[in-house]
Structure 1
Amino acid sequence: MLTRAFTDAPTPPVDISRDPAREAAKHELSKPMYHENDPSLLRRGIDRFWEWLGGLFDAASGATPGGALGLVVIVLVVLALIAALWWRLGTPSRLPASAATLFDDRPRTAAEHRKAAEAHAADRAWTPAVQERMRAVVRSLEERTLLDPRPGRTADEAAAEAGRPLPAHADRLRTAARDFDDITYGGRAADEQTYLRLTALDHDLERTKPLLSAAPHGAAQ
């Protein structure tokens, strides 16, 4: 009887301090069986991103006149401005136009550049056609000594320098230089109208008498 009574006595509770208990619970909950249905790391990251974006949107809409609708209108206006600038300026260039030289191969005469331009135009390859025609314009001005031959000259520099002895065509020269830079270094597609406009400028310059006082060496036509 005494043995039975001793056996049936209640077991005293196990007294575990707080820190070991927390570590034991943490160890138990780290077992894979408790995390089989947890979202993936990617999913948790996406959820966090959307929560952050939602909070940012709420904060911005609260500070914008008109609330969320006003914020949407502002975003659309900004996107429209970016699209307009992209269309006008073309793809951003890796090299600034001011650092891009006009001639990049062996020296050729204006006649050779014109012949190359006409061959490209016959194939409707407008980008190289425009490039070669612009080079013909500048080389022709150098051959007439209206420009000093200078390696490394850019289209913008050539247009600015040629505009002094040929002031009647200064605006057209600047437009031609801008077209050349946009097409060559800005990613803009050339077209037939650009080529024809540059060809007409080339012909007009050949027939124009310069201001002799503004020419580098006072050269005549």
Structure 2
Amino acid sequence: MRPPLTVTAVPPLLPDGDEAREWAERELTDPAYRIAEPTPLDRAARAVVDFFTDLFSTPLDGGLGPTVALVAAIVAVLLIGAAFAVWGMPRRRPRAPAAPTILFGEREDRSAEDLRRAADERARAGDFDAAVVLRFRALARACLERGVVDLPPGATVHAFARAASASFPASREGLDRVADDFDDVRYLRKPGSAEAYRRVGEVDDEIRRATPRTAAVVPA
């Protein structure tokens, strides 16, 4: 009869001194540790707090306590101001990138200024179909950036024009007209023209200078 099988315990994998140091150095090179390190401004603020803690916890003879505290406070304010001037505001958590926006059936991530520049480039090249579409998208994007309208993915250009008109009633007629220009180009009813591009540019500039009356939600 065979003897029963026995399971030999496996000793834990413990590093020796050199391996432990190497593991620690490798771990500390992780970018997460560098991100968590305090900035120079963080260190300066900590030093100021420690200074005042030590100052007010140490008794002074001869009635010099208030005078020394006042001088120290002035010096601390000057140091803090210098730190802000050199290193800027304390570090904040980076903001998450904005979600992409669907503008009239197509994904569009560019800002209003980027769209205006792209429209001008196409107009100079004589491509007024693209120029009209891009400038109208710039107009809609600008209203989104200002929080004037909320544009759901299924919104049409005329629904946008009506909602924007609630915020900019003086531009109601122009918004309706350039919405027609956009649809003419997109649905091949009419080709784009320099005149249509001029109209949408004028409405965009007019709204950019105006103060909105209220915010509106565009119906999908």
Q: TM-score, normalised by structure 1?
A: 0.49
Q: Going by fraction, where is helix more abundant, 1 or 2? A: 1
